[in-house]
Structure 1
Amino acid sequence: MGLKVGENIPQFSLEDQEGNIFDISAIKGKKPIVIFFYPKDNTPGCTKEACAFRDSYEDFTDLGAEVIGISSDSSSTHKRFGARYNLPFTLLSDPDGKVRKQFRVKGHLLNLLPGRETYVVNKEGKVVMVYNNMNASNHMEKALDALKGMK
């Protein structure tokens, strides 16, 4: 099981889809954050999940939240994925799974597939919701409901 409700998210830095280093400390403690870990760019489930976050992105920003997607894909793959589907949020490259391990996101099918897990983090940097389900359908809704519940 990943991080639990009430735990602080770890400090991390990863490369974003533009090749820049993104440091979570730039926003941690300043605004709510939605972090979704997903297996792979351009696969049917992951595309569905990313597009759901895209289609409701304004709802997240209206609640003051930052949305971040993380997978092991390279920043150049993220750049193409983001451009192809007009994704307005940050995509971070975690090629060695270091941040995935910090969040304790478990793999599926004997660890052959990276896990799909979504975290909602409050302004103080504490986890307020964890949703772990390989079905990509409900991640955005669960995250949005958790954010609305924080208000």
Structure 2
Amino acid sequence: MTRIPANTPVPENDGACRHLTGASFPDVELVSTSRAGVNLAGQSGLVVLYCYPRTGHPGRPSPEGWAQIPGALGCTPQACAFRDHYGEMADLGARVFGVSTQSPEDQREARERLNIPYELLSDEPLAFARALQLPTFSVDGATLHRRVTLIARDGRIEKVFYPVFPPDDHVYEVLDWLKAGIA
């Protein structure tokens, strides 16, 4: 699935991210799909970090009622959109990361299956989410990130997109913001 259904529930802005602009990435190491760990606080330059609930896995059903949770659907289409426009963001000087609370193994599987050229990070213990007070929700006993995109320069958050909808077209908002910053 590379597009989300037209009748997908739209998330509302509950103000859960208003504290993030100007904040610094926390000193938290996240397990990466390509190396032992990434500490976003130590990243210089421009970073685009999109947080998402979970990518689906072939052969595993989605949680009960998943399609009715506002903002839940669309993780794979969002990842594929960032994949398809990764070169443009790199040309604009941005490093791209995706992060969810899924296990490093699930992140590796998704990265390989979807041919993702950037790193997917695991916040399975929720240390990053807690440190930044990111919005989360629970389903089937798991705590998941709500969809939010953070753009940071030298570890300080300059732009917050929240809520993110529709996730499959969100990459265009990010590209527009990046291009405006260069102009």
Q: What interval of TM-score do these two structures reach, taking the shorter chain for normalisation?
A: 0.7 to 0.9
2:81 partner SS: helix
Structure 2 unaligned blocks of 5 or more: 1-15, 58-72
Letter in 1 for 2:45: K
Match of 2:47 among 33, 38, 49: 33
Q: What TM-score do you get using the length of structure 2 for normalisation?
A: 0.72
Alignment partners' CA distance in 2, 1:33 and 1:126: 9
Distance 1:83 1:107, change over 3 A: same
Match of residue 65 from structure 1? 94
- Counterpart pick for 1:20 among 19, 33, 36: 36
2:159 matched to which residue of 1?
Answer: 129
Unaligned runs of 5+ in 1: none
Per-residue CA shift, 1:116-146, capped at 9, x if unaligned?
0001112x32212111125313431222222
Residues 49 and 10 of structure 1, relative CA distance in 2, 3 Å threshold: same
Q: More deviation in 15-24 or 75-84?
A: 15-24
Paired residues of 2:49 and 2:96 also in contact (CA < 8 A): yes
Q: Call closer, same or farther: CA 1:130–1:48 in 2, change over 3 Å.
A: same
Structure of greater Rg: 2
Question: Residues 134 and 150 from structure 1, CA distance in 2 versus in 1: closer, same or farther, beyond 3 angstroms?
Answer: closer
Structure with the larger helix share:
1
Q: CA RMSD in A?
A: 1.9
With normalisation by structure 1, the TM-score equals 0.86
Select between 128-137 and 56-65 the one with higher mean Cα deviation.
128-137
Instruction: Supply the distance in 2 between the matched residues of 1:68 and 1:7 (Cα, whole angstroms).
Output: 18
Q: Which letter does structure 1 place at the counterpart of 2:24?
A: N
Alignment of 1:106-125 (within 5 A): 106-108=135-137, 111-112=138-139, 114-122=145-153, 124-125=154-155
Instruction: Indicate if the aligned counterparts of 1:18 and 1:76 stay in contact, CA closer than 8 A.
Output: no
Alignment CA distance shift 1:103-1:138 (3 Å): farther
Give the secondary-structure state (helix, strand or coil) at the position aligned to 1:14: strand
Q: 1:76, CA displacement in angstroms? A: 1.1
Residues 82-118 of structure 1 deviation map (CA, whole Å, 9 limit, x = unaligned): 111100011111112111122222125xx44530000
How many residues were matched structurally?
Answer: 146
Structure 1 counterpart of 2:104, one-letter code = S
Q: Could you tell me whether the CA contact under 8 Å between 2:34 and 2:119 is conserved in 1?
A: no
Amino acid at match of 1:131: F
